[in-house]
């Protein structure tokens, strides 16, 4: 088994992301609605047709969607591996209760630290927005979870009498800083809320760390929030898939070490933790 060649699948709250790695290179990643397991299964089987024999590794924070997808794939004679159960996800942390952290956050942190090789802040912007901190030794310190852009807009519509249902799109800069109609005002508001929450959190982490770590953004809304914005240094769209790859490389290809750790080490199972992911 080649640890750098596999089909990585991230099943999140709203979307399932599928990507094929060949010798570490990600090829043709694509997203599918979680409520359409047949479409994601078709993509997985198509990737297997292009590269027969690759292992399929599922990571998830959405057990019903994960199970439906796994069932659809097994009908074609393919048995997927599950992150946490078949592929260990060990991580060093300072959490009070590691059983509540979602696989998405751990995988994004793993992918970011392995690639950055330094302390980093990971901003995952999707259904929810998570902002997590990994120090220079690779220790995961946790972070914060906030509603994503779509969730904020949905809440404004659901919890008020007259605010309309609005799908997020970047506000037109030509319209200026003032929302001169309700929809524009809502878009400006949720954008400011998301960016403000991320900036405040980054500043608190930097104060704790004593410097500004590298800041990496991922998730389906990362480009909408941070492209051409000074808040984030790097946007890596498929950081969670990269994390799956790195977990497999650690499990299948790295030397085992008996080094002792000062911090607790845990393995995250494939059960849904808090379910508060940021969809790719």
Task: Determine the 3-state secondary structure of 132 from DSSP.
Answer: strand
Cβ atoms of 269 and 116 within 8 Å: the answer is no
Question: What is the percent of the chain with per-residue pLDDT over 70, rounded to a whole number?
Answer: 90
Q: Does domain 6-148+192-267 have CATH number 3.40.250.10?
A: no
Question: Which residue is catalytic, options 4, 104, 256, 277?
Answer: 104
Q: How confident is the model at residue 273 (pLDDT cuts 50, 70, 90)?
A: very low
Q: Is 230 in the active site?
A: no
Measured distance CA(105)–CA(111) in Å, rounded: 10
Whether the pTM exceeds 0.75: the reply is yes
* Apex 102 CA angle, 95 and 69, nearest 5: 160
242: CB partners within 8 A, 6+ apart: 26, 111, 114, 115, 236
33 alpha carbon, distance to own chain's centre: 15
Domain extents in the chain: 6-148+192-267
The conformation of residue 174, written as its DSSP 8-state character, comes to G
Backbone phi, then psi, for 218, in 5-degree steps? Answer: -145, 180
* Apex 50 CA angle, 47 and 52, nearest 5: 90
Q: Is the pLDDT of residue 47 over 60?
A: yes
Please, how many CA atoms are within 13 Å of residue 42, restricted to the half-sphere of its CB? 8
What pLDDT digit, counting tens, does each position of 248-265 carry?
A: 999 998 544 333 223 344
Measured distance CA(70)–CA(40) in Å, rounded: 10
From 47, 33, 137, select the one nearest 92 (Cα to Cα).
137
What pLDDT digit, counting tens, does each position of 33-42 carry?
A: 999 999 999 9
């Amino acid at each position: 088994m080649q640890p750098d060649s596999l089909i990585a699948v991230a099943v999140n709250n709203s979307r399932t992301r599928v990507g094929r790695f060949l010798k570490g290179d990600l090829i043709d990643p694509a997203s599918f609605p979680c409520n359409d397991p047949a479409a994601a299964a078709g993509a997985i089987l198509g990737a297997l047709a292009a590269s027969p024999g690759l292992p399929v590794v599922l990571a998830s924070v959405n057990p019903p969607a994960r199970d439906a997808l796994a069932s659809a794939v097994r009908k074609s004679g393919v048995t997927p591996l599950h992150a946490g159960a078949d592929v260990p996800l060990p991580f060093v942390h300072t959490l009070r209760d590691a059983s509540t952290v979602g696989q998405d956050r751990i995988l994004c942190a793993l992918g970011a630290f392995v690639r950055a090789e330094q302390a980093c802040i990971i901003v995952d912007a999707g259904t929810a927005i998570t902002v997590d901190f990994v120090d220079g030794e690779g220790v995961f310190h946790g972070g914060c979870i906030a509603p994503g852009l779509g969730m904020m807009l949905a809440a404004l519509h659901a919890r008020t009498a007259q605010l309309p249902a609005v799908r997020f799109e970047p506000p037109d800069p030509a319209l200026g800083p003032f929302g001169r109609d309700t929809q524009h005002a809502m878009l400006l508001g949720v954008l400011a809320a998301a960016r403000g929450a991320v900036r405040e959190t980054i500043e608190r982490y930097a104060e704790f760390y004593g410097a500004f770590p590298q800041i990496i953004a991922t998730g389906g809304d990362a480009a909408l929030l941070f492209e051409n914005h000074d808040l984030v240094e790097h946007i890596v769209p498929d950081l969670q898939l990269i994390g799956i790859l790195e977990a497999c490389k650690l499990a299948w290809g790295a030397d085992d070490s008996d080094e002792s750790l000062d911090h607790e080490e845990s393995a995250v199972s494939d059960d849904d933790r808090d379910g508060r992911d940021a969809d790719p």
